[in-house]
Chain A
Amino acid sequence: MINIKNLYFTYTNSKPYILDNVSLKIEKGNYVSILGENGSAKSTLIKLILNLLKPNSGEITIATSKMAYVAQKVENFNAQFPITVDEMLNCHKKVLKLKDKNLILKSLQAVGMEDHAHTLIGNLSGGQQQKIFIARSLIGNPELLILDEPSTGIDIQSMEDIYEIIKGLNQNLGITVVSVEHNLKAALENSTNILEMCHGNGILYNIHDYKSKLSEERG
């Protein structure tokens, strides 16, 4: 699904590179959690995959154009922004030039938020807002879903609901998931693979190998 070859990136146009010769392959249908310390370029890597940043050199090939993104924080959004759930989803649908009238309802049902279509997004809790952003990402029937710390700043129940939804999308609909994670427990419980970012590079593990590695490290 994603093939990265010899990727180099720096924000300052000078060395050291924060991504230094990264090469990896993410297979279709995988659920990959990206782990790593702060500043290990986890979010930078997904922004490069999303084409929001341009690499200094190297190549990223993505096998689908049906890609969706759920950001950690929507830049201009604040509690006073006057937009209802329905308006935001409808806007996304129209930008994607989709005609199916049931798409919005279906996507809201997929995250259990169908009763909130006419609510102002600012009036929803953090967890509910995140579900709405996941619903938005589902409107174009994506084959690749990229998330940046989907459970940041939300309560435990919503967190569990959100991981349940993402896992369901991966297992039931076959959507490839790539998610930057700060939540190790959720990553270990839900992912098929872990991409560990360290010193400007990333190592992709099968989840069982990563669990064994963790047990060895912890003795």
Chain B
Amino acid sequence: MFEYGFMQNALIASVLISILFPIVGVFLVLKRYSMMGDTMSHASFAGVAIGLILGYNPILCAFVFTALCGLSIEFLRDYYKKYAELILAILLTFSVGIGITLVSTGKAGANVNSYLFGSILTVTKDDLYIMFVLSIISIVTLLSLYNQLLYITFDEEGAKVSGVKVKIINYVFALLVGATISVSLRILGILVMSSMIALPVATSLQLNKGFKHTLIYSIMFGFIDIILGLVISYYINCAPGGTIALTSVFVLVFVIGSKKVLSIV
């Protein structure tokens, strides 16, 4: 199946997002901010709709819009310190409002579905270049901020006292979440994006390891979920978003089941 150009593109894109998603996901989940992925993926819907209507690259438009949403989430955190999830609901509502309003005008074209559910047929070379650049920038930035991000995730107050520029790093991280979401639009689809932020990390947490191992296992599970889901979607001829989401749930259940069996034996 990988002799086809579209499958090669899809495979390269999948490898990129299977590395990127769990790295972002592990920080989001441990900050108890997994729903941020949901909000940001809905924000990307608004970005895609704007791009399709105005005739710009939808992935770039999604990146700009999700980045703005990410920055707004960080900005508004000061106003709802103890109710951070409210900010997510506010921005999700705003984004879905824009997305539905624009798409329902009929001017966005027929391929909105490919962004909602993911589509391996539609990953073009141009998309790949954008995905590649955003992924590399994101991975390098995340790795260079690794210690600061880990400190903030574990103990934000302690990080401030130790001189970490918490506010700036939180803003940079919000931009990276935006980039990650935009990069994955084509393969995962808007509707299952947040599951890929949480599921590989949730699976990895079952192994009770330290942070570095949790991160490595998350990438491993993310890779298995995405590649297996992609292959299955090719053979049963359906959107990859659904099969990737289902695979990630089955892998989680398999790991929990194996743990139970091993503890009995």
Interface of A with B (CB < 8 Å)? 50-52, 67-69, 71, 74-77, 80-84, 86-88, 91-92, 94-96, 118, 120, 136, 140
Query: A86–B210 Cα gap in the complex (Å)?
Result: 9
Query: A77–B106 Cα gap in the complex (Å)?
Result: 48
Interface of B with A (CB < 8 Å)? 30-32, 147-148, 150-151, 153-164, 205, 208-214
Chain B residues with CB under 8 Å of A95's CB are 147-148, 151, 159, 162-164
Chain A residues with CB under 8 Å of B159's CB are 95
Give me 24 A-to-B residue pairs in the complex whose CB atoms sit less than 8 angstroms apart, sorted by A's number.
A67-B161, A68-B161, A69-B158, A74-B155, A76-B31, A76-B32, A76-B153, A77-B154, A77-B155, A81-B30, A81-B154, A82-B205, A82-B211, A83-B210, A84-B210, A84-B211, A87-B210, A91-B151, A92-B162, A95-B162, A96-B162, A96-B163, A118-B210, A120-B209
Q: A75-B156, A76-B155 are in contact. List 8 more A-B contacts (CB 8 A).
A: A71-B157, A71-B158, A75-B157, A82-B210, A82-B214, A83-B150, A83-B210, A120-B210
Chain B residues with CB under 8 Å of A71's CB are 155, 157-158
**Candidates A50, A81, A88; contact of B161 at CB < 8 Å:** A50
Min CB distance B247 to A, Å, is 23
Chain A residues with CB under 8 Å of B158's CB are 69, 71, 74, 92, 136
Interface residues of chain B: helix, strand, loop or mixed (majority) = helix
Query: A174–B213 Cα gap in the complex (Å)?
Result: 39
Docked-complex contact B156 and A76, CB < 8 angstroms: yes
User: Given A80-B205, A82-B209, are A69 and B147 neighbors across the interface (CB < 8 Å)?
Assistant: no
Chain A residues with CB under 8 Å of B208's CB are 82, 120
Chain B residues with CB under 8 Å of A75's CB are 155-157
Inter-chain residue pair count (beta carbon < 8 A): 77
Closest CB pairs A-B (n = 10): A84-B210, A82-B214, A94-B147, A69-B161, A74-B155, A83-B211, A91-B147, A91-B150, A87-B211, A95-B162
Docked-complex contact B205 and A83, CB < 8 angstroms: no
Docked-complex contact A52 and B154, CB < 8 angstroms: no
**Candidates B147, B157, B205; contact of A52 at CB < 8 Å:** B157
Query: A86–B211 Cα gap in the complex (Å)?
Result: 10
Chain A residues with CB under 8 Å of B154's CB are 74, 76-77, 81, 83, 88, 91
Chain A residues with CB under 8 Å of B205's CB are 80, 82
Chain A residues with CB under 8 Å of B214's CB are 82
Min CB distance B252 to A, Å, is 15
Chain A residues with CB under 8 Å of B211's CB are 82-84, 87
Min CB distance B208 to A, Å, is 7
Query: A82–B213 Cα gap in the complex (Å)?
Result: 9
Interface centre among A81, A82, A84, A88 (most CB of B within 10 A): A82
Chain A residues with CB under 8 Å of B150's CB are 83, 87, 91
Query: A154–B222 Cα gap in the complex (Å)?
Result: 39
Q: Which residue of A lies closest to B148 (CB)?
A: A95
Q: Which residue of A lies closest to B30 (CB)?
A: A81
Query: A76–B160 Cα gap in the complex (Å)?
Result: 14
Query: A84–B213 Cα gap in the complex (Å)?
Result: 10
Min CB distance A44 to B, Å, is 13
Query: A51–B159 Cα gap in the complex (Å)?
Result: 12
Min CB distance B241 to A, Å, is 28
Min CB distance B35 to A, Å, is 16
Query: A181–B56 Cα gap in the complex (Å)?
Result: 61
